[in-house]
Amino acid sequence: MAQNFTTLPDHPETATLEGKNKVLAFWLFLGGEVVLFGSLFATFIALRTSYAGGPTGAELFDLGLVAVATLLLLTSSLTSVFGVMALHRHDVAGMQKWFGITVALGVAFLGLEIYEFLHYYHMGHTMSSSAFGSAFYTLVGFHGGHVLAGVTWIALLQIQLAKKGLTVVTAPKFYLAALYWHFVDLVWVFIFTVVYLMGKVG
């Protein structure tokens, strides 16, 4: 371990050409993700008042629940930054701790979202109840799918880290997963603004 500590370069995530290429390619992928979510947001904004006699956003949404979900995701973004800082210190135990907390917060967010969707389902707000319903579940569900993917990804990386240790091969993976996680949080900022808060305003 002590050996590893001294031989690992300062920024292990971009120490190799492969690592550098991964970071660049991942940013281009995130550019594509912006387009994906842009299209989903455009669809949602266009259809967000097409209730077709079903429940409206103002009737459905509970701002307290949304505030808790926002706090969970925002905090998990901060803990993943701490995870990357531990990576830069070559501190494997710190990485496991901070990325572990990130995964736990992400799972809590998902649990809250599943509860929320079930609640809406019982209120008659479904994928097929109105154009608003379809657009809502597609946009928010797509984001939830990203949270699920991020949680799974980081958890698998943690198993790999325990097995292989921190190297120039495992470091870029954590850096990318943290970037992805921040992006998922960034999308949520616009979801709580456009879907929930604008839904309350009407």
- Which residues here bind other proteins, judged by CB under 8 A? 10-11, 23-24, 27-28, 30-35, 37-39, 41-43, 45-49, 63, 67, 70-71, 74-75, 77-78, 81-82, 85, 88-89, 179, 182-183, 185-186, 189-190, 192-194, 197-198, 200-202
What per-residue string of b and e applies to 119-158 under the rule 16 or more CB within 10 Å gives b?
ebeeeebbeebbbbbbbbbebbeebbebbbebbebbbebb
Q: Which is nearer to other proteins, 117 or 180 (CB)?
A: 180
Q: Which is nearer to other proteins, 51 or 121 (CB)?
A: 51
Q: In whole angstroms, how close is the CB of 27 to other proteins at the nearest point?
A: 4
Q: In whole angstroms, how close is the CB of 183 to other proteins at the nearest point?
A: 7
Q: Which is nearer to other proteins, 80 or 170 (CB)?
A: 80
Query: Is the Cβ–Cβ distance between 80 and 102 less than 8 Å?
Result: yes
CA dist., res. 87 & res. 166, Å (int):
8
Q: In whole angstroms, how close is the CB of 130 to other proteins at the nearest point?
A: 13
Q: In whole angstroms, how close is the CB of 124 to other proteins at the nearest point?
A: 21
CA dist., res. 113 & res. 93, Å (int):
30
Q: In whole angstroms, how close is the CB of 127 to other proteins at the nearest point?
A: 19
DSSP 8-state class, residue 10: S
Q: Which is nearer to other proteins, 34 or 118 (CB)?
A: 34
CA dist., res. 114 & res. 117, Å (int):
5
CA dist., res. 30 & res. 183, Å (int):
8
